[in-house]
Copies of this chain bind each other. A is one copy, B any other.
């Protein structure tokens, strides 16, 4: 970002880095404008500018990396800079829920058929993988998280630990450890990352741990 001539991003994320970018050209836009943002970035790059397209977390996980590469289409070089994605940021705040195999699934069906998302939820639940849910709930789809929980309950005990982390590592973080049975009694929104344990995940001293099989 410091080396860039221009910064392109979702306005909430641009706001998060305002101290770094004060003297730069900034193109901030609203949600669901991903393709327009990528096009704007490529347009500026074709003018010879060094452009930073910013995402929160890791741009390669449900972020701008894909659409930017697609729109750039080989016309300008694109370099991806990995970051800390919400799954591992939330995991660090919960304890160690991801030290074993896990699935990362977004409940947003804006760009993915809901039946495909459901089949992924069931496959992951059946195979006893820890499950990380991104975009668990928005105003437009308040009930997907209920359906997801039901599907997971077909294969997993109601007492399975569930971690809810809101605004993971972004300041004002809120961390809750609950269970599959109780999880809907807590606030879950677009800023929440949900981590559902596997059959061995436990809560110990207030931390969520998926044991790796060491003889402790």
A contact residues vs B (CB 8 Å cutoff): 34-35, 58, 60-63, 65-71, 73-74, 78, 80-85, 88-89, 91-93, 95-106, 110-112, 116-117, 119-120, 122-124, 126-129, 169, 204-205, 207, 209-216
One of B35, B61, B93, B100 near A214 (C-beta < 8 A): B35
**By the criterion CB–CB under 8 Å, are B111 and A105 in contact?**
no
Residues of B within 8 Å of A61, CB to CB, are: 88, 91, 98-99
**Count of identical protomers in the assembly:** 2
Least CB separation from A95: chain B residue = B69
**By the criterion CB–CB under 8 Å, are B66 and A80 in contact?**
no
**By the criterion CB–CB under 8 Å, are A99 and B60 in contact?**
yes
One of B62, B88, B111 near A85 (C-beta < 8 A): B88
How far is B102's CA from A157's CA once the two chains are assembled, in angstroms?
Answer: 23
How far is B99's CA from A85's CA once the two chains are assembled, in angstroms?
Answer: 11
**25 A–B contacts from the bound complex (CB under 8 Å):** A35-B216, A58-B92, A60-B99, A61-B99, A62-B100, A63-B99, A65-B95, A65-B99, A66-B211, A68-B96, A69-B209, A70-B216, A73-B204, A78-B207, A80-B91, A80-B92, A82-B89, A101-B120, A111-B213, A111-B214, A119-B127, A120-B127, A120-B129, A123-B124, A123-B129
